[in-house]
Structure 1
Amino acid sequence: MTDDELVLAIRTHVTGRGLPGPASAEDVTAFERVVGHPMPDLLRRTYLEVANGGFGPWRVVSLTETDDWFSDCADITMAYHAFGGPDGDALPSGLVPLMDRGCAMWTLIDFRTPDGQMWDWDPNLCCIRHAPAPLGQSLAQWLTDWLRGQAHEGPYPHRVPADSACHNP
């Protein structure tokens, strides 16, 4: 699917769900300044043309605070800062928490990649050091799986398994 087709399919899929209206371009720019990387184009278009959060298998976090919270965080900036940790290194730079799956598990998106490579965050598998792992999927692939009813809510089958001999805290 092209990005145009995906945006239209997402809009159609979420019609009637009572999601917040689209975010503003200023909100996108403000968050890009926080992260220090540009938002992948498809994610930008989805926030700007579909809804300010709530789309996706477990409902993507809103870009800005709305009356709807799709995680324990009011918005994506709060989620991003929550992952900063005391040393600011809980996540590699440019990885952004996108979707809260519960039990401390998140789906992340890599702002360093133009196609928005997807990552998993699951500290329950081993330790904080091994919690983030790439999924080998772009945002477009991830959204297409969701639209086709093939989304994995976790654990992700594409995830590289954590080392069972890990003794990190």
Structure 2
Amino acid sequence: MTEDLLVTDDDIILAVRAHVADQELPDPATADDVRAVEQMVGHPMPRLLRRLYLEVANGGFGSWEAVSLTDTGDWFSDCADITEAYHDFADPEHPLPPGIVPLMDRGCAMWALIDFKTADGQMWDWDPNLCCTAHALAPLEQSLTEWITDWLHGTTPDGTYPQRETTSKNCTAR
């Protein structure tokens, strides 16, 4: 989906709040929570993601429920919070590129990740089931705004993203 230029971050925040209104999500994160994650990652959080955590909830929003910034007692993955998820990806053999942060656990070792180095929060996919961990990471060529808008419209697919380029097709680790 191409980004709807008429949709503002304010519109998205209001739509996400309405979408999750009937869910029992954690209270919003604090500015200190955001700063601690930014310090750990070494890059500022993309503006829309920052606002979602500060103005909607400290986790639980999105099609696969964003991991909380801190342990809220409501786990949205096998990890208590985003710090634990980030450190779980610290594999010396296949590290994530700097600034790429696990955001949503899709199950079966698959994750939706976000690039903190990009102002619009470019989304990434992690799926080691396609071949191996060396080929698990691939860019989605979709911003967080586009990804959240797709989710709000009910078009975020379950399973592998359709725009994911299969980088593992020539993998010899199979």
TM-score of the superposition, structure 2-length normalised?
0.93
Q: Which residue of 2 aligns with 1:13?
A: 19
In the TM superposition, 1:59-70 aligns within 5 A as 59-70=65-76
In the TM superposition, 1:68-83 aligns within 5 A as 68-83=74-89
Q: Which residue of 1 aligns with 2:39?
A: 33
How far residue 163 of structure 1 moved from its aligned partner, in angstroms, is 3.2
Q: Which residue of 1 aligns with 2:152?
A: 147
Distance 2:104 2:134 in 1: 20
Q: Which residue of 1 aligns with 2:135?
A: 130
* SS class of match (1:144): helix
Given that 2:94 and 2:133 are in contact with CA atoms closer than 8 Å, whether structure 1 keeps it comes out as no
How far residue 89 of structure 1 moved from its aligned partner, in angstroms, is 4.5
Change (3 A) 1:51 1:88: farther
How far residue 161 of structure 1 moved from its aligned partner, in angstroms, is 1.0
Distance 1:10 1:98 in 2: 16
Distance 1:155 1:2 in 2: 28
Cα RMSD (Å) of the superposition? 1.2
- What is the number of equivalent residue pairs in this alignment? 168
Runs of 4+ in 1 over 6 A off after TM superposition: none
Q: Which residue of 2 aligns with 1:101?
A: 106
Q: Which runs of 5+ in 1 are unaligned?
A: none
How far residue 152 of structure 1 moved from its aligned partner, in angstroms, is 1.5
> Is 1:159 aligned to residue 164 of structure 2?
yes
Distance 2:157 2:96 in 1: 22
